[in-house]
Amino acid sequence: MKVQVFTFLFLFTTLYAVAQDKEKLFGNGEKKAKKSGFILSVFGDFDIPGADMAKRFGDSYRIGPAMLYKTEKNWIFGAKCEFIVGQIVRQDSLMINIRDKYSVQSNNLYEFINNSGQRIGVPVFERGYTIDLQFGKIISLSGYRPDNGLVLMSSAGFIQHKITIYDKDKSVSQLREPYLRGYDRLTNGISLELYAGYIYFARNGLTNFTLGFDGLFGFTQGRRSFLYDVMRTDNKNRLDILFGLRGGWFIPMFRKKSDDLIFH
């Protein structure tokens, strides 16, 4: 259901932008000059994991800001930061050494006996982030709207993720620091990302967006010296992949020939 809602919202935005603009998607009338300037943006992804990431986590989301610069030749470069958020953890051995034989694991909730002898549920989540430098190109489809068209972007940077174990009341001694680090599977490393989609700057100044497909490849490694539940070091090399549907909203600050800023 979440995927359908996400897709519907972006398709609605696309149709709305076209309907509101007097010129059609590929434009008509007098040809325009390409603009340059900074672009403030927010990106969001719905991701399906692959390779080692799929063994540990389920579907997830990424969201975060970016600062880009677009040249008059339609080259784009900049930097972005995104937070990874997920509810599905598939690590079967997680905390198995501190769970009793009656403990139930349902979705992202694990049962434990707390310090008072009560059975409680402790939720676990996927959390992480990426930091990237970006470079790409807009391939214009019309001289009438030269800032719009197909966009190809590549990114290189850093990815980190872990299992967040949320014992809100700190009522399970084994889940307090520093013991908690022996369960969270902290992992990080370098990442490469590829994006292909469509980018649109509207004349009404409101519906500036991009929509497309994204693939992130993380060449990572476990960073914990010892895992208590499986009694071993966590330093294996991993390939963490995220395939996503990506959307972004822009606030462009383009310049006229007179160097006056134009806020859209």
All structural domains of the chain = 2-263 (2.40.160.20)
- pLDDT number for residue 104: 84
pTM of the model: 0.84
One digit per residue, the tens of pLDDT, for the chain of length 264 reads 454 445 545 544 554 444 344 444 444 556 678 889 999 999 999 999 999 999 999 999 999 999 999 999 999 999 999 999 999 999 889 999 998 888 888 778 999 999 999 999 999 999 999 999 999 999 999 888 899 999 999 999 999 999 999 998 899 999 998 999 999 999 999 999 999 999 999 887 778 999 999 999 999 999 999 999 999 999 999 999 999 999 999 999 887 654 444 444
- pLDDT number for residue 87: 95
- pLDDT number for residue 255: 72
How far is the C-alpha of 127 from the C-alpha of 215, rounded, in Å?
18
What's the one-letter identity of residue 218?
G
The token duo for 183 is 């369960």
Nearest of 87, 40, 45 to residue 66 by alpha carbon: 40
- pLDDT number for residue 10: 52
- pLDDT number for residue 142: 85
Over the chain, what HEC string results? CHHHHHHHHHHHHHHHHHHHCCCCCCCCCCCCCCCEEEEEEEEEEEEEEEEHHHHHECCEEEEEEEEEEECCCCEEEEEEEEEEEECCECCCCCCHHHCCCCCCEECCEEEEECCCCCEEEEEEEEEEEEEEEEEEEEEECCCCCCCCEEEEEEEEEEEEEEEEECCCCCCCHHHCCCHHHHCCCCEEEEEEEEEEEEEECCCCCCCCEEEEEEEEEEEEEECEEEECCCCEEECCEEEEEEEEEEEEEEEEEEECCCCCEEEC
Ramachandran assignment for 107, one of left (phi > 0), alpha (psi -120 to 50 degrees), beta (any other): left
The partner residues of 120 in beta bridges, in order of sequence, read 112
Specify whether the CB–CB gap between 85 and 162 falls below 8 A.
no
Phi, psi (deg, nearest 5) at residue 181: -65, -20
| Sign of the Cα pseudo-torsion (110, 115, 119, 120, in order) | negative
Q: Is the peptide bond before 146 cis (omega within 30 degrees of 0)?
A: no
